[in-house]
Amino acid sequence: MPRGERQRTEVRIFSRRPNSNTRGRTPQSALKFCEGKIRTPEIYLVRHGETEWNRSHRIQGSLDSPLTELGREQAQRSGRTLARLGLAGLPVSLSPLGRTRATAAILAGEVAFGPVTVEPRLRELALGSWEGLTFAQVQARFPALLEGTTQHTWYFQAPDGESFEAARNRVGGWLGEQTGPVIAVAHGMIGRVLRARYLDLPREQALAYPLGQDVIWHFRDGGMAVLPVD
């Protein structure tokens, strides 16, 4: 499919260097200010489908739980969208965790992959001893650590977890090695960190905007767009 046709399906969100008209605006109000001007690798980011622990609000990190029926449907729709966009044959970088492998297997049933690389730098943010707990349990046991945090910045407060800087550096190393379009199958928090690194956004802004499981995130020329799935 010609690139022009693909672009008409996109809802553009951010550029790497917003112009002065976007300063101080929320991501939603900056939808029209989207054109990046810095050459950067083209990435189609697919988050794994919903899991059992996603549904029960339990922290996964480097642990795993099975995809739900909805999660499998999300992966199928994402695969059909990748095929519709003419992306068959692109190389794939895949987090080594079970939920991303399961998602990739479903994607591959809908669109032919090019070479597949299992990429440890795309694994989910490590949360140490918080992994396996519910959000409510973390709030009850570590109230002081969560004081002053927002909906997503608290992930980096785990005393034995991974810092934002460490996660940003590892995903930045992967980004720096990409020389052409690639499909990345990864996770919610590391996807937000990748967004921060790619778009050169402040941590709070990059973490605040959602990273859903029912869309594909298209990074190109220093900008980011949302591709709705079929």
Give the range among 69-73, 122-126, 164-168, 203-207 with minimum mean pLDDT: 203-207
Q: What is the pLDDT of residues 194-230, one digit of tens each?
A: 999 999 999 888 888 888 999 999 999 999 999 999 8
Q: Which residues are annotated as catalytic? A: 48, 124
Q: How confident is the model at residue 137 (pLDDT cuts 50, 70, 90)?
A: very high
Q: Which residue has the higher pLDDT, 210 or 57?
A: 57
Q: What is the CATH number of domain 39-221?
A: 3.40.50.1240
Provide the residue ranges of all domains of the chain, joining segments of one domain with +: 39-221
Q: Is the separation of the CB atoms in 129 and 193 below 8 Å?
A: no
Q: Which residues of 73-112 are buried (b: 16+ CB within 10 A; e: fewer)?
A: ebbbbbbbbbbbbebeebbbbbbebbbbebbbebbeebbe
pTM of the model: 0.84
Give the pLDDT score at 14: 52
Q: What is the pLDDT of residues 83-103, one digit of tens each?
A: 999 999 999 999 999 999 999
Q: Which residue has the higher pLDDT, 179 or 36?
A: 179
